[in-house]
């Protein structure tokens, strides 16, 4: 397994130099998020990730979860690591102080989450899924429900899950069949079978709080008849069984350390949360968060595989540089001298570091939405930015993160295919990120159909305005090499969006035909913005007389690489999306 | 596991309608390759692939090879299938009649190989590796060596391997250390350890013939001091141990059914084959064949995952078509109605079917090279075409075949990630194809550096001339929609090749910096040629009054899809390769 080293300096650079978090925390009135405290979180969190979680990543894959006699056992060490995590107070970082939380900004839990995600994604999913349950309870729970469940989730004593999928429906939740029958005491009997429930059962915590989508009697069909229920694994007070039984766990391509469960709800007691029949809408209010978590998985895969590939490329000797030996005293040159190995490394790096900036930016918007001192206008803009950027971050960073993980294998040559090196595990673990929390196709429809076209481009303009301001303020500086192509791209982005909108008015298939290319285009341009921001921050540090110029020059040169070698992909996606639906829809089902 | 159905009709269409194999076999004087015989091979071979091999594909993955007490055991059923394969006479199909072969054209063994490769790649590798050993013996063995070893390999009684890689070198064989010490009887003692030896040990055949790269005493360093040896696992006459011991087998991402062995040669008796110190050159004479076999793996992955995804997309119900329900009587539409699902299916299909045409075309060139009645000019052209097309087929079809396998998972959504459906196995099995037999990076250097630039574009012109003639002969017909972009691309291909050549004269790094994009560009344009040929064949069939117009229209429409949605990628690769080496090489090692 490649060693994981928490990229402490990169995290600080992104947060403070690129995204100016110091001003941000002041603006939202989070005085407690001082530079010292943030540094302590990064350092201590990084240690926990490096020393406790990373060493369990490979055993988690190899041993995996076991299912015997209805009981799920997590891989050796997972439970003990969870105990340490709880003892360290990590679950309550950004929680509501009224229920035992530390009340820090959400963005800091994202920073911590990056490190544990990169060190051990399968493990991270247990607390990660709890977060979804927490947000649901915080938004829609009654005070009593919060007292009972939210406080236990905040302390980490219990974990949580989200139970959506059934065997015949994942994407199309309108088809779901799980039923909720009202009981005399105001609770409900939940009956049905859910599949693909991540962290659905395990031995790491005392109890599990399931948030379950189900239908009330006489609920309308489709998505408008779905309600949300709290269904604990064990009754909250007695800790006796509540008839939520794990039927089996899946054998999967990767994330073997996380139990993906079939859960049978056999008249389990459930409690309605949120208004009846509005469960799907309630879910979607925090879907952004879950999707940002998955975006993190893509970015984490890029970071982890970059760390592994870079260290291998420095050590492994093969062939000579084409113009002649660069290390003549060695029997061959280290492969990092070869241009194509550099292409692979820099691709990984540009996704990892650019992706970090994108994800942190989204997390800062979440802070603004939540901050009590934000104006309505600020909140609206922050929410608009999150809405437009979330599907981009989720789909684009998982697609490119998967590419980066595959490049990591490629840098290792044949050794990359061998389990012990750990590079192929990253590929297997990451493959799911393009599937769950809405596939790439679904994210793309969400972006183009719902966020851009249905909103008549308003949210998109929030984002292009950010890019526009940056371009305007920096056009006469060293950044010109980035500003010019960036401006060209964000301008044409608006332009062809209008064209697709017009085409879609005549033929709705045009939306589905253009959507994935539209999303990828958006991703490449969005990352181009962040790479220009990174270069800007690096130039500013050098101008301010930073000692370690090497560090900052590396950032500027990676930005250049991104603009020369990666951004041109946007053009391809543009051409393909503009070529329309005809070549896809003309072919009859029988002609396949 | 998706069912495998041998695509009998597509194979015949490609062979006879697209590539005019009937005339081809006449021209090379292979009268025995009659249409009836070929049909029998396809039908019977297809049955063997469908009924014997496909059912073993998933168990091969799940159980894998076992290594205990120095003995390798293949998965249940593998050995029995091999016995059937030998009994059916399949190993001798294209073998030399002087040593028990049936003397059929090589291209027919490729056709058969496609089917068994797609049904069960891990199994196919056992006979597949034998083929490399056979070709070495046929080209460089003495009559006695052929009598002893080649006849046994031809009957299939023994299998063979190629032993190149050592732990410190795979790509850079100049570093290899295995030694060969001459003995009084004219044989050699081979000492050293080889790794990553596919099919290196197993229980399927009586004996294994290893072709081993090693150094003679006082051999020059580097690649010019490597010789080739025959080293049987058991002595050929006594069948007693020859001190070739399997030390372990690797735990890999995929192809679990094939034993990837560490082989220890402990003074094993070996026999020199070919001239001393010219082992690498000898190897390269049939490297084209091994690489074409790996290209087949990419194409096979596309075919197999397309078959699985297509059948799932017809059955699985989710959401409604955006313009409104297409199957209102069902609770939701089958997902094949959605444009983005079609994009994925057609991408897979265009790689599988276009790839088949490319690989068969290469195989026909191999026939011409081998045919006794070919003129020197014909032979030279065929060899030139093979030389230029082999790295393209190997790297481009494995990269895009891997993409297709991943799209297969994507069409299945979350179910694609679950082992029992078999779609994720295709991804894991195929991942190695971009690594072994020379990585994508190595193929690209071979193409641009050795085949194109060092040859001053002569081989490339063989190929663009084929495209040119096709364009010239078809410009006034229905094919115009394909001919125009095809002509534009092959013309610019020559143009920027010259530019890169000029840049490379000033800076050799430009070759490495451009190579992978150059290869991918070449691949997209090459496949565009074959899709135009496919459309041409389909139009001709329709014009000739074919009954099943649906079949042929499907081909024409897939060609259109390819030109609209896939070929534009070439433009991206062109832009990136022309952007040069600077952004890759400017960054210092410390700046990573």
User: Measured between CB atoms, which of B345, B512, B588 is closest to A340?
Assistant: B512
Report residue B284's pLDDT band, with 50, 70 and 90 as the boundaries: confident
Model pLDDT, residue A288: 80
Q: Which run of H or E residues covers position A228?
A: strand A227-232
Residue ranges of chain A assigned to CATH 1.20.140.10: 286-438
Say how far apart CA B362 and CA B396 lie, in whole Å: 14
pLDDT 10s digits, B270-283: 999 999 999 999 98
pLDDT 10s digits, A166-206: 999 988 999 999 999 999 999 999 999 999 999 999 999 99
Crossing angle (nearest 10°) for helices B569-578 and B509-543 = 160
pLDDT 10s digits, A315-355: 999 999 999 999 999 999 999 999 999 999 999 999 999 99
Residue of A579, A196, A457 lying closest to B414 (CA atoms): A196
pLDDT greater than 80 at residue B286: no
User: Measured between CB atoms, which of B250, B420, B435 is closest to A413?
Assistant: B435
pLDDT greater than 80 at residue B476: no
Model pLDDT, residue A290: 84
Model pLDDT, residue A2: 81
Chain B residue with minimum CA distance to A449: B322
Model pLDDT, residue B380: 95
Does the distance separating the beta carbons of A444 and B435 come in below 8 Å? no
Across residues A245-270, what is the average pLDDT?
98
Across residues A561-573, what is the average pLDDT?
97
Can you name the CATH fold of A159-277?
Butyryl-CoA Dehydrogenase, subunit A; domain 2 (2.40.110)
Can you name the CATH fold of B286-433?
Butyryl-CoA Dehydrogenase, subunit A; domain 3 (1.20.140)
Does the distance separating the beta carbons of B165 and A414 come in below 8 Å? yes
ipTM above 0.90, yes or no: yes
Residues of B in contact with A586 (CB under 8 A): 557, 560
Report residue A374's pLDDT band, with 50, 70 and 90 as the boundaries: very high
User: Measured between CB atoms, which of B170, B251, B575 is closest to A413?
Assistant: B170
Residue of A526, A411, A419 lying closest to A466 (CA atoms): A526
CATH code 1.20.140.10 for A286-438:
yes
B465 DSSP 8-state letter? H
The alpha-carbon gap from A136 to the nearest alpha carbon of chain B, in Å, equals: 24
Say how far apart CA A250 and CA A8 lie, in whole Å: 36
Residues of A in contact with B579 (CB under 8 A): 564-565, 568
Gyration radius of chain B's alpha carbons:
24
Of residues A114, A166, A381, A437, which has the active-site annotation? Answer: A437
Model pLDDT, residue A284: 80
Residues of B in contact with A308 (CB under 8 A): none
* Interface mutation target, options B521, B587, B588, B590, chain A, most CBs of A under 10 Å: B587
Give me the helices (H) in B321-457, please: 339-370, 376-391, 397-411, 423-431, 440-445
Neighbours of A177 (CB within 10 A): 13
CATH code 3.40.220.10 for A8-64+73-155:
no
The alpha-carbon gap from A240 to the nearest alpha carbon of chain B, in Å, equals: 32
Residue ranges of chain A assigned to CATH 1.10.540.10: 8-64+73-155
User: Measured between CB atoms, which of B165, B439, B569 is closest to A572?
Assistant: B569
pLDDT 10s digits, A81-122: 999 999 999 999 999 999 999 999 999 999 999 999 999 999
User: Measured between CB atoms, which of B343, B345, B431 is closest to A417?
Assistant: B431
pLDDT 10s digits, A17-67: 999 999 999 999 999 999 999 999 999 999 999 999 999 999 999 999 999
Does the distance separating the beta carbons of B432 and A561 come in below 8 Å? no
* Interface mutation target, options B223, B315, B340, B535, chain A, most CBs of A under 10 Å: B340
Among positive and negative, which fits the CA dihedral A452, A454, A456, A458? negative
Across residues B241-249, what is the average pLDDT?
98
Report residue B73's pLDDT band, with 50, 70 and 90 as the boundaries: very high
- What is this structure's pTM? 0.98
The alpha-carbon gap from A176 to the nearest alpha carbon of chain B, in Å, equals: 11
Crossing angle (nearest 10°) for helices A569-578 and B569-578 = 160
Joined together, the tokens standing for residue A78 give 């997972």
Indicate the average pLDDT of chain A.
Answer: 96
Backbone angles phi, psi at A176, to 5 degrees: -70, 155
Residues of A in contact with B328 (CB under 8 A): none
B496-519 in b/e burial notation, b at 16+ Cβ within 10 A? ebeebbebbeeebbbbbbbbbbbb
pLDDT 10s digits, B120-147: 999 999 999 999 899 999 999 999 999 9
Contacts of A189 by beta carbon, 8 Å cutoff, 6+ apart: A180, A181, A183, A267, A268, A269, A270
With 0-12 / 13-18 / 19 or more C-beta atoms within 10 angstroms meaning exposed / middle / buried, residue B578 is: middle
* Interface mutation target, options A512, A542, A551, chain B, most CBs of B under 10 Å: A512
Model pLDDT, residue B287: 80
Q: Which of A41-55, B411-425, B474-488 has the lowest mean pLDDT?
A: B474-488
pLDDT greater than 80 at residue A286: no
Residues of A in contact with B590 (CB under 8 A): 550, 554
Tokens 């690209």 found at: B444
Joined together, the tokens standing for residue A331 give 């029997």
Model pLDDT, residue B213: 97
Does the distance separating the beta carbons of B584 and A565 come in below 8 Å? yes
User: Measured between CB atoms, which of B171, B416, B554 is closest to A591?
Assistant: B554
Residues of B in contact with A419 (CB under 8 A): 250-253
Among positive and negative, which fits the CA dihedral A220, A222, A228, A229? positive
Give me the helices (H) in B507-566, please: 509-543, 549-561
CB A327 within 8 A of CB A333: yes
- What 3-state class would DSSP assign to A177? coil
Residues of A in contact with B557 (CB under 8 A): 583, 586-587, 591
Across residues A356-365, what is the average pLDDT?
98
Query: What is the 3 state secondary structure string of A67-94?
Result: EECCEEECCCCHHHHHHHHHHCCHHHCC
B199: left (phi over 0), alpha (psi -120 to 50) or beta: left
Report residue A217's pLDDT band, with 50, 70 and 90 as the boundaries: very high
The alpha-carbon gap from A520 to the nearest alpha carbon of chain B, in Å, equals: 13
Report CA-CA distances (Å) from A377 to A369, A373, A461, A462, A506: 10, 11, 15, 12, 35
The alpha-carbon gap from A184 to the nearest alpha carbon of chain B, in Å, equals: 33
Report residue B397's pLDDT band, with 50, 70 and 90 as the boundaries: very high
DSSP string, B91-140: GGTTS-GGGT-----HHHHHHHHHHHHHH-HHHHHHHHHHHHHHHHHHHH
Contacts of B284 by beta carbon, 8 Å cutoff, 6+ apart: none
User: Measured between CB atoms, which of A340, A434, A569 is closest to B410?
Assistant: A434
Model pLDDT, residue A104: 97
Residues of A in contact with B253 (CB under 8 A): 417-419, 424, 427-428
Active site residue B437: yes
pLDDT greater than 90 at residue B508: yes
Report residue B568's pLDDT band, with 50, 70 and 90 as the boundaries: very high
Does the distance separating the beta carbons of A507 and B168 come in below 8 Å? no
Does the distance separating the beta carbons of A576 and B572 come in below 8 Å? no
A187 DSSP 8-state letter? -
Pick the CATH number of B8-283 from 2.40.110.20, 1.10.1740.10, 3.60.20.10, 2.40.37.10: 2.40.110.20
Across residues A232-237, what is the average pLDDT?
98
Model pLDDT, residue B425: 98
Does the distance separating the beta carbons of A409 and B339 come in below 8 Å? no
Residues of B in contact with A508 (CB under 8 A): 322-323
Tokens 């079809």 found at: B397
For the CA atoms of B348, B349, B355, B360, what is the dihedral angle to 10 degrees? 150
Report residue A287's pLDDT band, with 50, 70 and 90 as the boundaries: confident
Model pLDDT, residue B477: 78
Tokens 């509540």 found at: A242
pLDDT greater than 90 at residue B548: yes
Does the distance separating the beta carbons of B349 and A317 come in below 8 Å? no
Q: Which residues pair with A244 in a beta bridge?
A: A265
Of residues B114, B437, B492, B547, which has the active-site annotation? Answer: B437
Does the distance separating the beta carbons of B587 and A441 come in below 8 Å? no
Model pLDDT, residue A476: 74
Model pLDDT, residue B289: 81
Model pLDDT, residue B338: 97
Chain A residue with minimum CA distance to B445: A340
User: Measured between CB atoms, which of B332, B424, B583 is closest to A560?
Assistant: B583
Model pLDDT, residue A283: 86
Residues of B in contact with A322 (CB under 8 A): 449, 508-509, 511-512
Chain B residue with minimum CA distance to A174: B319
């Amino acid at each position: 397994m490649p060693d994981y080293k928490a990229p402490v300096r990169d995290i600080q650079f992104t947060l403070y130099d690129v995204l100016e978090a110091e001003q941000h925390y002041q603006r939202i009135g989070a005085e407690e998020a001082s530079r010292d405290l943030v540094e302590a979180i990064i350092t201590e969190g990084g240690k926990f990730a490096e020393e406790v979680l990373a060493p369990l990543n490979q055993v988690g894959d190899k041993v995996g979860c076991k299912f015997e006699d209805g009981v799920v056992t997590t891989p050796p060490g997972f439970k003990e690591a969870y105990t340490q995590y709880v003892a360290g107070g990590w679950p309550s970082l950004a929680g509501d102080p009224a229920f035992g939380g530390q009340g820090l900004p959400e963005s800091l839990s994202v920073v911590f989450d990056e490190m544990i995600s990169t060190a051990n994604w399968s493990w991270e999913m247990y607390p990660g899924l709890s977060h979804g349950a927490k947000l649901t309870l915080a938004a829609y729970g009654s005070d009593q429900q919060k007292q009972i469940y939210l406080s236990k989730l905040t302390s980490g004593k219990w974990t949580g899950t989200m139970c959506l999928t059934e065997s015949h429906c994942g994407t199309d939740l309108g088809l779901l069949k799980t039923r909720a029958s009202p009981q005399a005491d105001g609770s409900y009997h939940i009956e049905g079978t859910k599949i693909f429930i991540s962290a659905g059962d395990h031995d790491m915590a005392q109890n599990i709080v399931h948030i379950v989508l189900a239908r009330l009697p006489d609920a309308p069909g489709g998505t408008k008849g779905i309600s949300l229920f709290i269904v604990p694994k064990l009754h909250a007070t007695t800790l006796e069984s509540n008839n939520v039984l794990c039927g089996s766990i899946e054998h999967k391509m990767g994330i073997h350390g996380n139990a993906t469960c079939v859960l049978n709800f056999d008249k389990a007691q459930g409690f309605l949360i949120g208004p009846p029949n509005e469960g799907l809408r309630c879910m979607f209010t925090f879907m952004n968060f879950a999707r940002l978590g998955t975006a993190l998985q893509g970015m984490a895969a890029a970071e982890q595989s970059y760390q592994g590939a870079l260290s291998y490329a420095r050590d492994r000797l093969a062939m000579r540089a084409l113009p002649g030996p660069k290390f003549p005293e060695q029997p061959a040159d280290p492969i990092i001298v070869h241009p194509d190995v550099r292409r692979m490394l820099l691709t990984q790096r540009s996704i990892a570091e650019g992706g970090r900036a994108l994800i942190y930016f989204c997390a800062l918007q979440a802070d603004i939405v939540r901050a009590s001192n934000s104006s309505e206008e600020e909140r609206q803009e922050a929410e608009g930015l999150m809405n437009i950027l979330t599907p981009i971050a989720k789909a684009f960073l998982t697609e490119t993160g998967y590419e980066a993980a595959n490049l990591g294998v490629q840098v290792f040559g044949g050794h990359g295919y061998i389990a012990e090196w750990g590079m192929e595990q990253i590929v297997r673990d990451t493959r799911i990120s393009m599937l769950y929390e809405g596939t790439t196709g679904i994210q793309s429809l969400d972006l183009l159909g719902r966020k851009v076209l249905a909103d008549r481009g308003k949210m998109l303009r929030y984002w292009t305005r950010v890019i526009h301001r940056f371009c305007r303020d920096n056009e006469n500086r060293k950044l010109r090499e980035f500003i010019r192509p960036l401006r060209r791209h964000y301008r044409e982005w608006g332009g062809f969006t209008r064209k697709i909108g017009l085409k879609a008015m005549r033929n709705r298939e045009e939306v589905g035909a253009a959507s994935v290319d539209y999303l990828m285009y958006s991703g490449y341009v969005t990352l181009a913005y962040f790479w220009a921001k990174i270069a800007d921050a690096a130039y500013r540090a050098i101008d301010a007389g930073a000692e370690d110029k090497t560090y900052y020059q590396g950032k500027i040169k990676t930005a250049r690489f991104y603009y020369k070698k990666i951004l041109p992909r946007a053009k391809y996606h543009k051409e393909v999306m503009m070529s329309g639906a005809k070549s896809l829809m003309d072919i009859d089902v029988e002609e396949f």
